[in-house]
Amino acid sequence: MNSGAPDLSRGWLVLGLLLALLATIGCSSKKPKDAQNDDRKSTTAAREDFDGGAYCVQIISQGPPVSQPVHFSNKQSESDGSSKDFESDLSSDKFDITFRERHRATSDDKPGSTPAVDNGPIHVPARTVTVADGYAELVQVSHYVRSQDHDWNMGVTTVAQGGTPWGLFIYKPQVTKVGSETISGYETTKYAVDTTHQSQLEKSPGLIGGRLKDYNIVGTAWVAKQAACVLQYQIDYEEDAKDGTVRKVHYEGSITK
């Protein structure tokens, strides 16, 4: 690392290492089934429900090479002004990710840049931090090629686990099938997600685990019929903690060709 480069806060370094470690752990788990070629017509029936655990950014990227470029957008914004944004571009043999993370600035946040760092199996991409208007923002750009299988899967898993609301579905929110739509050439089944009518008993796993007074998950998700993965979503999450604090998070994901 260039000793003349401005120092970044240890928090940013930890964030980068955690993202990389998260992806590495995810890659060591069982690889999901490859998506069928995106040009083939759907031959499978729509699922009657879904568990929110499989996202098309991972299924499609780890499937056969796509015939035309695909862009994935996965965003998370919180009521305190913090946010995460993964913008990913997939071609037949390349996967590029621009990651932005924003939070309220602290005295530890210092503007500057660092080059990429390779530390054994963990690769931390080059990063830039800016501080303005009371917020610190990290921008991190990563490039992967299909021929480097481990790195490719690491990048894909980083987006799937770090940029989607998969964790909300651990609570098993009730979902309802509401129709079918075609999105960017993919046939999908549309689902409504709504926990506002669920009892405290039904929510108890999330309430106990999160030390919450209440929480709600409301939104819509579109599941690709052929690949059985979440292709697009608009999800709002709100939790009321026992200490009286309220947290609101908006998740949105989309795909375009």
pLDDT digits (tens, 9 = 90+) for 144-157: 999 988 889 989 99
Q: Quick check: is 85 in a domain?
A: yes
Give the structural domain span for 136: 10-256
Give the global pTM.
0.78
Phi first, then psi, for residue 213 (nearest 5°) are -85, -35
Take residue 194 and report the two structure tokens written for it.
């709504």
Mean pLDDT of the chain: 83
Question: For position 205, what pLDDT does the model report?
Answer: 82
Given this model, what pLDDT does residue 189 score? 95
- Strands 127-132 vs 212-224: parallel, antiparallel or unpaired: unpaired
Given a cut of 70, whether residue 69 has pLDDT beyond it is yes
Q: CA quadruple 29, 78, 193, 173: dihedral positive or negative? A: positive
Q: In this structure, what are the phi and psi dihedrals at residue 82, rounded to the nearest 5 degrees?
A: -80, 160
Please report which confidence band the pLDDT of residue 217 belongs to, taking 50, 70 and 90 as the band edges.
very high
Q: How much is the CA Rg of the chain, to the nearest whole Å?
A: 19
Q: Is residue 2 part of a domain?
A: no
Q: Is residue 210 part of a domain?
A: yes
Total structural domains in the chain? Answer: 1
How far apart CA 223 and CA 56 sit, in angstroms, is: 9
Q: Within 10 Å of residue 198's Cβ, how many Cβ atoms?
A: 17
What digits encode the pLDDT tens for the residues 96-150? 999 999 999 999 999 999 888 877 666 778 899 999 999 999 999 999 999 988 8
Q: Tell me, what's the pLDDT at 117?
A: 80
Higher pLDDT, 209 or 213: 213
